Amino acid sequence: MENLLTLARRRYALRNYSSQPVPDEVLRYILEVARMAPSAVNYQPWQFVVVRDGILLQQLRKVYHREWFDTAPCCIVVCGNHNESWHRASDGKDHCDIDIAIATEHIALAAAECGLGTCWVCNFDIEACAQLLQLLHGIEPMVLMPIGYPVNNEIPEKKRKSIDEIVQWR
């Protein structure tokens, strides 16, 4: 079992997927890890749409036009419900985006633990995606998470600021 720091170092944005399908039990494990993510006031304003069907996957690829995206054998569409999320009383701030980000990173880390890769995709046609997946009104597709096995196991070096650049001790 890896420690969290090792796992976080191994997680990266994968942009070259093997065609090997992701087993159901692995996807269920990853989704259970996402289900356990914390959320503001424990409202859990998320829904996860797992797209594996070949025809639907081809249509989903039209909402985000990148050659590498086409190689993923599966995509988890992470959706948020702004009507179910907590809104801070003092200023009305909607915490849906924060909650979704936490759950999405749980997916990324669980996938890495299972030897899979993922990549956060947030720059896609939201309306077309919602229509394609026939999402109910108020459910916003927020992240496309292609998921699959990497073609090779080389982990790229991460560029990160030093700890002294990002931490203030007071």
CATH number, position 80: 3.40.109.10
Assess if residue 162 is contained within a domain: no
Assess if residue 166 is contained within a domain: no
As a three-state string, the secondary structure of 83-135 is CCCCECCCCCCECHHHHHHHHHHHHHHHHHHCCCEECCECCCCHHHHHHHCCC
Assess if residue 157 is contained within a domain: no
Give the count of domains, the chain: 1
Contact 109, 6 (CB under 8 A): no
Contact 92, 116 (CB under 8 A): no
DSSP string, 42-54: G---EEEEEE--H
Assess if residue 155 is contained within a domain: no
- Looking at the chain, the whole-number percentage of residues with pLDDT higher than 90 is 94
* Domain hosting residue 91, numbered range: 4-148
The tens digit of pLDDT for each residue in 44-102 reads 999 999 999 999 999 999 999 999 999 999 999 999 999 999 999 999 999 999 999 99
**pTM (predicted TM-score):** 0.95
